[in-house]
Amino acid sequence: MLKLPIGLQSFASLRTDGFAYVDKTKLVYDLTHNGKYIFLSRPRRFGKSLLISTLKAYFQGKKELFEGLAISELEQTWESYPVLHLDLNVGIYNSVQGLQEALKSNLNIMEKTHGVAKESDDNAQRFKELIWNVAAKTGKQVVILVDEYDKPLIEAIDNEPLQQEYRSILKAFYGNIKTCDEFIRFVMLTGVSKFSKISLFSDLNNLTDISLDERYADICGLTAEEIERHFSEHLEAFAQKEGTDKAAIMEEMRKMYDGYHFSKSASKDMYNPFSVLNALNRCDFENYWFSTGTPTFLVKLLQNGNYDLRDFSYGNILANELSAKESLTKEPIAMFYQTGYLTIKGYDKEFGSYSLGFPNREVEQSFLNFLLPRYTGNTDNRSSAFIEYFVRDLRKGDIESFLNRMKTFFADTPYELVRDLENHYQTVMFTICRLMGYYTIAEYHTSNGRIDMVVKTQQYAYVFEFKFNKTAAEALAQINTKDYPLPFQFEGRKVFKVGVNFSKETRNIDDCIWEPLEA
């Protein structure tokens, strides 16, 4: 079997050291022959660095690396160009000095590579002179490839004053690209965050953003067909270990790592390549992508903004809101999309709005497990244990133990953690319901309204209504008035109606009533 390229970002190494390579070179050819200034936003670990490396090898005219690939049948000239490769993946971005040092380091490498002398101490001016001098020395236009242009901004996501300084520095730096147009053959910038042209790239307003272009939706990431074609032997080994077949492995792979969409039509389902390759390597389904970068600050944005998580994970957003305009901290939903925790589920052409949601099980389950202790203060990993016990109680039909355990769960929440009690309870209960849905069946909507929580096990169905500073009797009355149990009464399960009231004074459940649905 060909080796799995886990974490490998060098196109040359992939092609010469026996690694599997999923051929994206037709898209590379189309991109480089139909555009000049390109911007691409994708979540982390989605293959952006490998794409940049592929472009670098192509523009350097390394024809031998592309033998047998789609581009070898398309390209006739294989002309080489000088490539300026700026990589901001590496750097310590906790100060302005850190950013300036990273830019200086990149400039040092590029000047040494192309044998040109430094003429200025100002990084922005130095970059402009580098473009001029390399073009003059070689007699050719230059290619500029910027990998993770926004890494400094992402690193300083919780420091708005520092972000403002970073934007000022980077705006001046990248703005040189437009002024050097006659010396440039091709430019591509990649990153996680997508800024509108009125912000960081206002001076570089000739960038073509392909982040939502249907033609390039699969330029990074993997499709199901690509996985089955390029990793068939690995799938077979995985299936043998699990005592099943490749179809079953692919179905589980789909649930865990598929579901990303990068176009309005949402027609191409993209798999997270980092998780897929790790799963094939270990023959085990785990949360590989999520564990490499937990969204601590994004959760803070949800808490501080008092977002209703039910609307957040099934919400709509206008097309122009998918771009962070000035501040990452002021565009939390856009940032959740751009960083890969939400993805496009649909597009309404009439209103120009996208519906967003969690892409797959890995992201949703991991995110909610990560979110729950941040909202409850149970940071010693007891939240996951509570979910297990909640499920066991409901499977046994033991509502009393479930509610008593719920009281214990909320009693552990520190007083200073909660600013908005009602929103807090809504968020926690929604999160618990969604997590239990991985082990039971959770539903939320009926024709008469949104039920607070419905959980079904093999034998039981529970219809919950939660109130805040009212009474459990009022909650139960709403269940009866709106006939919430109606969709579940003929499923062969015993149905329970459960009314619960949360008290502002006790900061916990103070009243609960449950009764079976009469046959």
CATH number at residue 483: 3.40.1350
Q: For the ranges 112-126, 408-422, 444-458, which has the lowest average pLDDT?
A: 408-422
Is residue 30 a part of any domain in this protein?
yes
pLDDT of the residue at 443: 65
Last residue of a domain, one of 185, 216, 247: 216
**pLDDT mean over 455-460:** 92
- Asked whether residue 316 falls in the same domain as residue 237, the answer is no
- Asked whether residue 117 falls in the same domain as residue 22, the answer is yes
- Round the CA-based radius of gyration of the chain to a whole number and report it: 26
Is residue 114 a part of any domain in this protein?
yes
pLDDT of the residue at 97: 96
Query: Band of the pLDDT at 252, cuts 50, 70, 90?
Result: very high
- Asked whether residue 125 falls in the same domain as residue 202, the answer is yes
At residue 101, what is the residue type? Answer: E
At residue 164, what is the residue type? Answer: Q
pLDDT of the residue at 312: 67
For residues 62, 65, 69, 70, the Cα torsion angle rounded to the nearest 10 degrees is -10
pLDDT of the residue at 229: 96
- Asked whether residue 303 falls in the same domain as residue 273, the answer is no
CB proximity list for 229: less than 8 A, separation 6 or greater: none
pLDDT of the residue at 335: 82
Taking 80 as the threshold, does the pLDDT of residue 30 lie above it? yes
DSSP-based three-state secondary structure for 40: strand
- Asked whether residue 301 falls in the same domain as residue 349, the answer is yes
Tally of domains in the chain: 4
What percentage of residues in the chain have a pLDDT greater than 90? 61
- Asked whether residue 285 falls in the same domain as residue 434, the answer is no
- Asked whether residue 395 falls in the same domain as residue 250, the answer is no
Tell me the pLDDT tens digit for each residue of 331-368.
Answer: 678 888 888 999 999 888 888 888 888 999 999 999 98
Last residue of a domain, one of 216, 238, 271: 216
Taking 90 as the threshold, does the pLDDT of residue 414 lie above it? no
Q: For the ranges 182-186, 405-409, 434-438, which has the lowest average pLDDT?
A: 434-438
- Asked whether residue 212 falls in the same domain as residue 256, the answer is no
| Higher per-residue confidence, 305 vs 60 | 60
pLDDT of the residue at 198: 45
Classify residue 284 by its DSSP letter: S
Is residue 175 a part of any domain in this protein?
yes
**pLDDT mean over 367-382:** 75
Is residue 169 a part of any domain in this protein?
yes
Taking 80 as the threshold, does the pLDDT of residue 45 lie above it? yes
Is residue 368 a part of any domain in this protein?
no
- Asked whether residue 253 falls in the same domain as residue 311, the answer is no
- Asked whether residue 73 falls in the same domain as residue 203, the answer is yes
Q: Which element (helix H / strand E) includes 463? A: strand 460-468
Is residue 485 a part of any domain in this protein?
yes
Tell me the pLDDT tens digit for each residue of 380-393.
Answer: 556 677 889 999 99
Is residue 132 a part of any domain in this protein?
yes
pLDDT of the residue at 348: 87
Tell me the pLDDT tens digit for each residue of 205-247.
Answer: 778 999 999 999 999 999 999 999 999 999 999 999 999 999 9
Is residue 372 a part of any domain in this protein?
no
Last residue of a domain, one of 216, 240, 274: 216
pLDDT of the residue at 478: 94
Helices of type H across 11-159: 11-16, 25-34, 48-59, 70-74, 96-114, 123-138, 151-155
Strand order, beta sheet including 353-357: 316-318, 353-357, 343-348
Question: What are 37's strand-pairing partners?
Answer: 187
pLDDT of the residue at 265: 80
**pLDDT mean over 91-102:** 93
What percentage of residues in the chain have a pLDDT greater than 70? 90
How far apart are alpha carbons 110 and 86 in whole angstroms?
8
| Higher per-residue confidence, 234 vs 157 | 234
- Asked whether residue 508 falls in the same domain as residue 455, the answer is yes
- Asked whether residue 412 falls in the same domain as residue 337, the answer is no
How far apart are alpha carbons 76 and 60 in whole angstroms?
14
Q: 187 vs 39, 146, 216, CA distance in Å?
A: 8, 8, 16
**Residue 421: domain span:** 377-516
Nearest to 141 by CA among 37, 13, 47, 9: 37
How far apart are alpha carbons 109 and 148 in whole angstroms?
17
pLDDT of the residue at 382: 65
| Mean pLDDT taken over the chain | 88
**pLDDT mean over 434-458:** 77
What CATH number corresponds to the domain at position 184? 3.40.50
pLDDT of the residue at 423: 73
Taking 70 as the threshold, does the pLDDT of residue 141 lie above it? yes
How far apart are alpha carbons 316 and 345 in whole angstroms?
10
